Amino acid sequence: MNKTLTHIDVNAFACLKEKLKTQGIELKDNEGYLSKNGISLDYAFDAELETMEIQNLKVGFPASMVGMSAEKVMDILEKAVADCRS
């Protein structure tokens, strides 16, 4: 699954990084690869365009065993971004 999240400024991206860090997920740079508990994705934040590209989002074991899907993970990310915009 791929998606471009928009209206993410530097402060919102910093907030998102902190929110994810509390869940044990660390976005180390503005772009990279993330894999944890069966969820994997590539991400790229562009401060100038205020976008975050999510590509190759996949959900496998063990996350899939607890009912997680790519759609649910994307919904969680979108909600976290929305909370950080406020």
Tell me: the pLDDT tens digits for 35-72? 999 999 999 999 999 999 999 999 999 999 999 999 99
> CA angle, 28 as apex, 76 and 11 as ends, to 5°?
65
In total, how many domains does the chain have? 1
Q: Residue 39 is part of a domain; what is its CATH number? A: 3.30.310
Q: What range does the domain containing 17 cover?
A: 3-85
Provide the sign of the torsion angle of the four alpha carbons 38, 67, 77, 17, taken in this order: negative
13-44 pLDDT, tens digit each: 999 999 999 988 899 899 999 999 999 999 99
pLDDT for the residue numbered 23: 85
Buried b (16+ CB within 10 A) or exposed e, 20-35: beeeeeebeeeeeebe
